[in-house]
Amino acid sequence: MGLLTPLALLASLDLALQWGLWAAAAALRTEKFFDLAGSGTFILLAHLSLRWGNTQHPRQQIQTTLVTIWGLRLGLFLFLRILTEGHDRRFNGVRENPATFFLYWTMQGIWVFVTLLPTLILNLEKHEKPLGFWDYLGWSMWALGFITEAVADQQKWHYRSNPDNAGRFIQSGLWAYSRHPNYLGEILLWTGLFLSAVSVLRGWQFLSIISPLLVWFLLNYVSGIPLLEKAAMKRWGKEAAFQAYLQKTPVLWPVSWKR
């Protein structure tokens, strides 16, 4: 069976955790620990796969460390944000409906496992190679993505914390070059973690490219950009300044492909 058995066990543990936490969240009618649970599961699965793989190669150690750093930063950031704001508008009309709420928690479990798949395979794979081009390229891309996401999040946090900016939209810092620089960073870092695993992947394992593709698809077409763009248009769509911002600032990539 090779890697399929431990991968199946990790997937089962992932879903079991999400469903158990859903039961608690549904009883309390709260989404406050939803994102923290997701990032915590990333860290748990990464470390379990590293332990089960029982390898001391620096590639696996570094990969797992990078996942941990990302998970701790994003999880704590989102948890503090929801404590400050009191709610997450994604869950309006959802937290009161246990069946729909269950679907959200289940989708989070699937997202965690699929996104982490290159790292899980890497950590469980016994086949080793010396560190090389793909490792350094992948980790460099992760660093660029991580810094982009972290800086963008902090810039928006500080902007919103200033009472003078109440009711206004951010268009400074990284947000002057991309309307969603935090999502750009997210896509880059997970693409980087796939690339850093490439030199070890074999055969069917290359299907784990679904990881960065899923992140890109969800942020572009499902739970990220579409919801925020719709909310922004509803709030500021009639303002000339916002229309100018839309015209001059790309949606995601800080390069306009329009002629």
Tokens 């001391």 appear where? Answer: 56
* DSSP character at residue 3: T
Q: Which of 102, 128, 154 is the last residue of a domain?
A: 128
Per-residue pLDDT at 236? 96
Into how many domains does the chain fold?
2
Same domain, 154 and 106: no
- What is the token pair recorded at 46? 């990464």
CB 37 within 8 A of CB 17: yes
First to last CA, the chain: 52
Q: Which of 128, 147, 176 is the last residue of a domain?
A: 128
Domain extent for 222: 131-253
Same domain, 147 and 174: yes
Per-residue pLDDT at 50? 95
* DSSP character at residue 198: T
Which residues of the chain are under the pLDDT cut of 70? 1, 256-259
| pTM (2 d.p.) | 0.92
Q: Alpha-carbon distance 122 to 119, whole Å?
A: 5
Of the candidates 84, 102, 219, 99, the one whose C-alpha atom is nearest the C-alpha of residue 161 is: 84
Of the candidates 174, 156, 178, 152, the one whose C-alpha atom is nearest the C-alpha of residue 165 is: 156
Q: How do residues 126-160 score in pLDDT, each as one tens digit?
A: 777 899 999 999 999 999 999 999 999 999 999 99
CB 195 within 8 A of CB 137: yes
Residue 75 lies in a domain: yes
Per-residue pLDDT at 1? 53
